[in-house]
C-alpha cells in the first residue's frame, strides 16, 4: 500500500515543534554552545538511523493510532476537588507561573481581581434567581 500525499506531509503541529526547537537552540547557544551542537548532530544522526531502520523493517513497524485514540495528557481531565486542597493546588500553579514569568504579574493580578468580581456577581445572581 503506497502512502498518500496527505500522510507524507507533516501536520501543522510539526511546524510549530520545529519552530520551538529552533528557538530553543538559538536561545541556549550562548550557554551551551558546544553541547547544543553535539546534541543537534547526535539527534539528527539518530533520526536518520531510525528512519533507515524503519524503512528496511516495515513488518516490525507498530500500527498507526487513529487521531481519535492518540495518547495525550489532558490537564482538564485531572480531578481537582472543590475543597481547600484544590484551592492550594490552583494557587500553587498560579504562583509557579507568576514567579517564573515576571511580566505576567500584572496580568495575573488583574485576572484575580476580575475573577473576584465575577464570583461576587455570580453569587448575587444565583441568590436572586
Report yes or no on 76 lying in a domain. Answer: no
Are 123 and 85 contained in the same domain? yes
The per-residue pLDDT for 45 is 92
Asked if 128 contacts 120 with a C-beta cutoff of 8 angstroms, the reply is: no
* Between 107 and 66, residue with greater pLDDT: 107
Are 87 and 40 contained in the same domain? no
pLDDT in tens, 84-101: 888 888 888 888 888 888
Distance from C-alpha of 20 to C-alpha of 74, rounded to nearest angstrom: 21
pLDDT in tens, 33-86: 888 788 888 988 998 888 888 788 766 555 655 666 666 777 777 777 677 888
Pick from 47, 62, 66: nearest CA to 7:
66
Number of domains in the chain: 2
Distance from C-alpha of 2 to C-alpha of 18, rounded to nearest angstrom: 26
Amino acid at each position: 500500500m503506497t502512502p498518500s500525499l496527505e500522510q507524507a506531509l507533516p501536520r501543522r503541529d510539526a511546524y510549530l515543534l520545529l519552530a520551538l526547537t529552533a528557538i530553543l537552540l538559538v536561545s541556549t547557544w550562548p550557554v551551551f554552545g558546544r553541547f547544543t551542537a553535539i546534541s543537534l548532530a547526535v539527534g539528527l544522526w539518530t533520526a536518520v538511523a531510525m528512519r533507515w531502520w524503519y524503512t528496511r523493517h516495515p513488518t516490525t513497524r507498530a500500527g498507526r493510532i487513529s487521531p481519535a485514540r492518540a495518547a495525550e495528557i489532558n490537564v482538564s481531565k485531572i480531578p481537582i476537588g472543590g475543597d481547600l486542597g484544590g484551592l492550594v493546588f490552583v494557587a500553587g500553579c498560579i504562583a509557579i507561573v507568576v514567579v517564573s514569568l515576571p511580566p505576567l504579574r500584572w496580568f495575573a493580578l488583574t485576572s484575580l481581581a476580575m475573577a473576584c468580581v465575577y464570583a461576587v456577581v455570580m453569587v448575587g445572581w444565583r441568590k436572586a434567581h
